Amino acid sequence: MKFMSIILGLPIFFGCQNNKEKVSIDPHPEEIELNKKETDSLWQKALNGGDFDAYEKISENYLDTYRFYDLYYYSLIMANKYQCPKAYEHLYYILHESITINGVKMKSNDEITNNMAKFYLMKSVELGNKDAESFSREIFGDSIPPLESGYFLRKIEDEYRKLERMP
């Protein structure tokens, strides 16, 4: 009886194999990337002149083409130098989202990075970014008053103090 069950079960087992192909995302789909001349021109306007519209156009292209490494650096400059609300939002997104690039998980999940992401989000809200405001409601809810970005800076500082005390 046991032998008969095995014989009858083999066709079912082999007939139910998952034949789905794995899909990989090309991190640089050329069909949506901007050409070098246009890219350089937009970054020059954004980084050298504080042009928020140029930043938004080029940064959205970098997000669409999975160029998070590059975008983080440019966003940091736009946020710090020009207080660009969208740049702060992008910094939050890059640090907060679970992104896998070439098999490497890019989310850190440590307290310092989580608080840094929340700082960027709340700074974007404080600068009037409506998209960031909706993200903050998802995280913190509607019922509590929104936390100020400075709150998260203090939490980051506290975490660094804890690290200094470690042997």
Tens of pLDDT along 37-69? 999 999 999 999 999 999 999 999 999 988 888
pLDDT at 7: 41
18 has pLDDT over 80: no
pTM score, two decimals? 0.76
Tens of pLDDT along 103-155? 888 778 899 999 999 999 999 999 999 999 998 998 888 766 678 999 999 99
Closest CA to 79 of 133, 130, 127, 134: 127
Element (H, E) at 105: strand 104-105
pLDDT at 142: 77
11 has pLDDT over 50: no
Specify the 3-state DSSP secondary structure of 152. helix
Distance CA 45, CA 49 (A): 5
Q: Give the position of tokens 């901007």.
A: 34
Contacts with 50 (C-beta within 8 Å, 6 or more apart), sequence order: 78, 81, 82, 84
